Amino acid sequence: MSVDARNGPWGRVSGGGNIAGRRAPAEAGGSQDWLPHKQIRNSGVSRGSCILAMLCGTLHAQKAFTVVEATIPEMQAAMERKRITSRELVTQYLTRIAFYDGRLHATLAVNRKALEEADARDRERAQGKVRGPLHGIPIALKDNIHTTDMPTTGGALAFAGFVPPYEATLTKNLRDAGAIIIAKTGLSELANWVAGAPTPMPGNYNAVGGFAYNPYDPRPDPREANFDGRPVLSPGGSSSGIGTAASLWAANVGSDTGGSIINPANQNMLVGIRPTIGRISRYGVIPITADHDTAGPMARTVEDAAILLGALEGAAPDPNDAATSTCTPPAGRDYTKFLKAGALKGARIGIPRAFYYDRVTLPVEGPVEGPGEERARGGLNAAQAKAMAEAIAILKEQGAVIVDPADIPSFVDRDAGGNFLLWDYCSGANQAKGKDAGCSVNFKYGMKRDFNQWLATLGSNAPVKTLTELRQWNLAHTKAGAIRYGQSRLDISDEMDVDADRARFEADHRKDLLLSRTRGIDGAIERDHLDAILTPGGNGAGLAARAGYPIIVVPFGTVPNRQGAAFPAGFDPQPAPFGVGFTGAACSEPRLIELAYAFERATKRRVAPAAAP
């Protein structure tokens, strides 16, 4: 199955079409249907007052149903039995946002009209019209996904308050399915493509909202080297699973270029699905590169994630994103038919020992410089290894056939030029032009190509018109906090010439696919006749992202949070969530959902965060 995303959503859209004018912020005289993060996070008693004001007249005696850890099917059953309404669901969630978000910073904006939309869904239900399993269910979107009733900022200060002129295709799909878009979530600014080396931006930081905090340990890091406000327990990649983990909404939609669904899902004890590129339209999602970008669901259970995936996927290919013709949706876009508790029986699961479980010594070209240990990478610590040994034992108990080892061919290649682990993407100032022979230019080239094409779809009210203008704006607003960690990734992207550097990009892209697909995931799966490969935590995200192939992470337990320097005396870091990942070939989401669901049913290891009871 071929997966080619280069004809992405931005090269096919003209600057006209469905573009309307930008909705002005309220302070500029326009209407405002959203609550900005600064209103949400005012200190003291007023922190949640702006949201609680929305709830006047709705905080009557609630029925026994609570949204905390409630699944989407449980909410639907409760509404069907008249135990609760969609309005009451939204009310509970807005109350929790008001109560907990001052500590967690999960949101960048909250939908003022969420209660009105809930009332509309309740009226439809009373008339016998239920659109599907997301009818009346509150869902949050990463703030790089277009909405026309709330800003879409990407966390970039230049876009603060900017409401785009059109909705993302996936946003429309969710609304058509009856979902209520309750909020926009925090993220690493521009999906973590702002600052790499020498001063990399910490995950889940952005100039609009600052740092966000993991509900499993929502404290800043006290260690001197990290004492800038960053969380002691990372929330993961650039998508935020914080609010879903803390039951601030039912589930959320993230985006993933190099691990930004899988890593935060793992870190927040969630199920995350990074689908095959093209399974979900990228039109209306702020891009890094169409060669690797995708949106995907993050939820507390496999069933909820499967429901959300079906709603995100279009019934037919999106004319604004050619990659959406890659995979054929299941009948009715219903992924719940793949929720089979016995699916592990007879399934062939590969254990890619090299790098993922065991340290590997990498090949070198020319004379070896430095001790051999510097060439060793990967492997697990004792706690992680123990957890994965238990996961493998459970798979065997459930009847799976474990193929061990099932190493990724390009991970063990002794030719340095053919080893995936030595072929990362260029990502910082140390890999600018003239210094980038040993890395793939795919991300930085794609950012220049696709970001400018996306900006062209925003019309005359776009705050900047090119990547160059954004960089200049950031430099002019440095004192306002626009680029706290610099903008080295934007810099190395903007120096790319889309025409003159195309040959280099195409050569690197071919090598990316060779090492990640042919001699990567496909190579292992075809050699050992596997249904999936099993990777620890969020570690499988990078390979799947480079290939554009699906991966699902499932909660499994916790391990000590002991990364980096020692903590000060008296500071006790809380354990870090730790899951397992199932990676498959292109368009294999149905099979992966079967395996993930069966594993989840056999383990049931997710626990709610104590910080948000």
Catalytic sites, residue numbers: 142, 238, 260
CA Rg, the chain, in Å?
23
The number of residues in the chain equals 613
Handedness of CA 605, 594, 241, 425 (dihedral sign): positive
Residue 405 to residue 403: CA distance in whole angstroms: 6
Amino acid type, 521:
I
Helix residue spans in 142-249 (DSSP H): 169-176, 189-192, 242-245
Strand order in the sheet with 34-36: 34-36, 107-111, 180-185, 138-142, 251-256, 294-299, 271-274, 551-559, 576-583, 532-536, 348-350, 401-403
CB 486 within 8 A of CB 199: yes
Residue 296 to residue 549: CA distance in whole angstroms: 12
Residues 6 or more apart whose Cβ sits within 8 Å of residue 317: 324, 325
Q: For strand 138-142 and strand 251-256, is the pairing parallel, antiparallel, or unpaired?
A: parallel
CB 228 within 8 A of CB 195: no
Three-state DSSP at 596 gives helix
Helix residue spans in 225-380 (DSSP H): 242-245, 262-267, 302-312, 353-356
Residue 181 to residue 160: CA distance in whole angstroms: 19
